[in-house]
């Protein structure tokens, strides 16, 4: 579901100002940098990142290092949207920012998010907040309607690759629709929805802030792939001693050592293309 104008202009400006500063800072770096609690890099740059043409593509858990992002994701409009979906008790799991610089060759292959962090039940909503306009030209998110009822392995050849069924990617593209919108809109996406995105062929950044919220009684079965210093955190209602189970059999992921799943996907898919 797309919610237009989910944040006011001043919040949007403050989030983008902080992101501008991080992109500026990245000019002084030649590779991934900063540390998440598990030792992986917090800031992930594309292989062709340079000082002149910075290509900072992901920031893991901006809530750990920015009051502006923490207040927005914990106290802003999204926790209440999760309450509307799942009831009063909501946990903020983890967050990340994805940036596609103009002319960036960074694309994302079809995957579902749930297989990265299987939970005891599927009450997990992925909020994808548009920090910039989203167009087909700049590589907006594309989703496969109805795919939240489908299940695909994200393992290939004995390795967790973070990609759903590589041999079905063309079929997924044939069924996919683009989610275009304006800066300030948010897409609420089921944790099982297949999604992907193409490269940015426009002259401006494509910027997206993503955060997962779960019902408090939906418990992750393993570590978060982007661990946070300050969470997971109950952002509405109360924590619970009870856990709600669903009877589904789920494939567990591998706790991969690569800094981001973009690298995992590229390792598998670049070879196949
Ligand atoms: O940034 C995109 O286009 C896709 C993001 C995504 O799927 C993710 O970060 O989990």
Closest CA to ligand 1's atom 10:
113
| Torsion angle, alpha carbons of 207, 213, 219, 224, to 10 | 20
pTM comes to 0.97
Distance CA 101, CA 43 (A): 15
pLDDT in the model for residue 273: 67
C-alpha distances out from residue 72 to 7, 11, 83, 86, 229, Å: 9, 8, 16, 20, 17
- DSSP3 helix / strand / coil % (the chain, rounded to 5): 25, 25, 50
Ligand 1 neighbours (beta carbon < 6 A): 96, 98, 108, 113, 141, 195, 197, 208, 210
Judge residue 108's burial from the number of C-beta atoms within 10 Å of its C-beta, 0-12 exposed, 13-18 middle, 19 or more buried. buried
Task: Please report how many Cα atoms fall inside a 13 Å half-sphere around the Cα of residue 51, on the Cβ side.
Answer: 2
Q: Is 226 exposed, middle or buried (0-12, 13-18, 19+ CB in 10 A)?
A: buried
Structure tokens given for 128: 């994808």
- Among protein residues, the one whose CA lies closest to atom 1 of ligand 1: 98
Query: In angstroms, what is the span from residue 262 Cα to ligand 1's centroid?
Result: 9
2-272: CATH topology is Jelly Rolls (2.60.120)
Virtual CA dihedral for 57, 50, 107, 188, nearest 10 degrees? 20
Task: Give me the DSSP letters along 66-119.
Answer: -HHHHHHHHHSSHHHHHHHHH-S-EEEEEEEEEEE-TT----EEEE-SGGGS-B
- Mutate which of 58, 104, 108 for ligand 1? The one with the most ligand atoms within 8 Å of its CB, which is 108
Question: pLDDT of 156-172, one tens digit each?
Answer: 999 999 999 999 999 99
Can you tell me the distance from the alpha carbon of 133 to that of 263, in angstroms, rounded to the nearest whole number? Answer: 26
Among 196, 197, 226, 261, which residue has the most ligand 1 atoms within 8 Å of its CB, making it the best to mutate?
197
Nearest CA to ligand 1 atom 9: 98
> What is the distance between the alpha carbons of residues 36 and 19, in angstroms, rounded to a whole number?
18
**% of the chain with per-residue pLDDT over 70:** 99
Distance 18 CA to ligand 1 centre (A): 20
pLDDT at residue 214 is higher than 90: yes
Atom of ligand 1 nearest to the CA of 116: 10
Q: For the chain, where are the alpha helices, taking DSSP H only? A: 9-26, 67-75, 78-86, 169-175, 261-272
Give residue 146 CA to ligand 1 midpoint distance, Å. Answer: 18
> What does the pLDDT read at residue 86?
98
* pLDDT at residue 244 tops 80: yes
pLDDT at 103 over 90: no
pLDDT at 51 over 90: yes
* C-alpha 77 – ligand 1 centre gap (Å): 21
- Which DSSP helix (H) or strand (E) runs through 243? none
Say how far apart CA 234 and CA 241 lie, in whole Å: 13
Quote the ligand 1 centre to 34 CA distance (angstroms).
Answer: 20
Ranges of each domain in the chain: 2-272
């Amino acid at each position: 579901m797309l919610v237009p104008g989910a944040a006011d202009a001043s919040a949007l400006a403050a989030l983008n100002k902080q992101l501008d500063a991080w992109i500026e800072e990245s000019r002084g770096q030649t590779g991934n940098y900063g540390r998440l609690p598990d030792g992986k890099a917090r800031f992930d740059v594309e292989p062709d990142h340079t000082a002149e043409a910075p290509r900072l593509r992901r920031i893991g858990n901006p809530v750990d290092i920015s009051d502006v992002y923490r207040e927005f994701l914990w106290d802003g409009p999204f926790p209440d949207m999760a309450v509307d979906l799942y009831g009063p008790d909501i946990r903020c799991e983890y967050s990340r920012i994805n940036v596609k610089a103009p002319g960036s060759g960074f694309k994302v292959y079809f995957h579902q998010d749930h297989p990265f962090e299987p939970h005891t039940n599927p009450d997990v909503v992925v909020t994808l907040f548009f920090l910039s306009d989203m167009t087909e030209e700049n590589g907006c998110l594309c989703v496969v309607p109805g795919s939240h009822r489908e299940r695909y392995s994200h393992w290939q050849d004995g390795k967790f690759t973070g990609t759903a069924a590589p041999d079905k990617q063309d079929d997924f593209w044939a069924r996919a629709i683009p989610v275009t919108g304006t800066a300030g809109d948010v897409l609420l996406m089921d944790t099982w929805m297949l999604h992907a995105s193409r490269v940015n062929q426009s002259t401006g950044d494509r910027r997206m802030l993503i955060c997962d919220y779960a019902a408090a009684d939906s418990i992750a079965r393993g570590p978060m792939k982007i661990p946070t210093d300050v969470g997971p955190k109950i952002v509405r209602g109360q924590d619970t001693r009870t856990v709600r189970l669903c009877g589904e059999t789920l494939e567990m992921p591998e706790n991969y050592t690569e800094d981001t799943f973009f690298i995992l996907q590229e390792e598998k898919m670049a070879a196949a293309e």
